[in-house]
């Protein structure tokens, strides 16, 4: 079974631009969560989608948004990029039944210059 796939692997953007990251979950998984990892703040939860609906949300500004499609694939968008948005963005998928662990992808490394 293929794991969680995130694209692209690396991105370089300029301040003020916007970016879209993509995540394909493990087949059969209906929940997709997004996390941001930085050296200063560590791993922080952004949001979770289940059956195309946002089920949970972390404490990030509205510039961070996401969506989930009917095939459970998810995208995350960050608008008006700031230098502090430079991070590794990790996507995780699970069955979403409350008893299943999260499986993470290899992440997208975003650098904002």
Partner 1 sequence: GEDVEQSLFLSVREGDSSVINCTYTDSSSTYLYWYKQEPGAGLQLLTYIFSNMDMKQDQRLTVLLNKKDKHLSLRIADTQTGDSAIYFCAEGRGGGNKLTFGTGTQLKVEL
Instruction: Work out whether strand 108-112 and strand 10-13 pair parallel, antiparallel, or are unpaired.
Output: parallel
Q: Which is nearer to partner 1, 14 or 53 (CB)?
A: 53
Q: Which stretch binds partner 1 (CB under 8 A): 13-21, 28-36, 61-69, 74-82?
A: 28-36
d(CA 9, CA 1) in angstroms, rounded, equals: 20
Task: Decide: is 110 part of the binding site for partner 1 (CB under 8 A).
Answer: no
Q: Which stretch binds partner 1 (CB under 8 A): 12-20, 54-62, 63-71, 74-82?
A: 54-62
Task: Decide: is 33 part of the binding site for partner 1 (CB under 8 A).
Answer: yes
Burial class (CB in 10 A: 0-12, 13-18, 19+), 20: middle
50: nearest Cα among 65, 28, 72:
72
Interface residues with partner 1 (CB under 8 A) are: 4, 6, 31, 33, 35, 42-43, 45, 48, 55-56, 58, 90, 92, 94, 96-98, 101-107
């Amino acid at each position: 079974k293929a794991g969680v796939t995130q694209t692209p692997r690396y991105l370089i953007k300029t301040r003020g631009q916007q970016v879209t990251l993509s995540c394909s979950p493990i087949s059969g998984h209906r929940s997709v969560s997004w996390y941001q990892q930085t050296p200063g703040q560590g791993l922080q939860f952004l949001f979770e989608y289940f059956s195309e609906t946002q089920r949970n949300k972390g404490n990030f500004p509205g510039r961070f948004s996401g969506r989930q499609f009917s095939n459970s694939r998810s995208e995350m968008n960050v608008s008006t990029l700031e230098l502090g948005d430079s991070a590794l963005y990790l996507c995780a998928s699970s069955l979403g039944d409350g008893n299943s662990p999260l499986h993470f992808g290899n992440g997208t490394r975003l650098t904002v210059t």
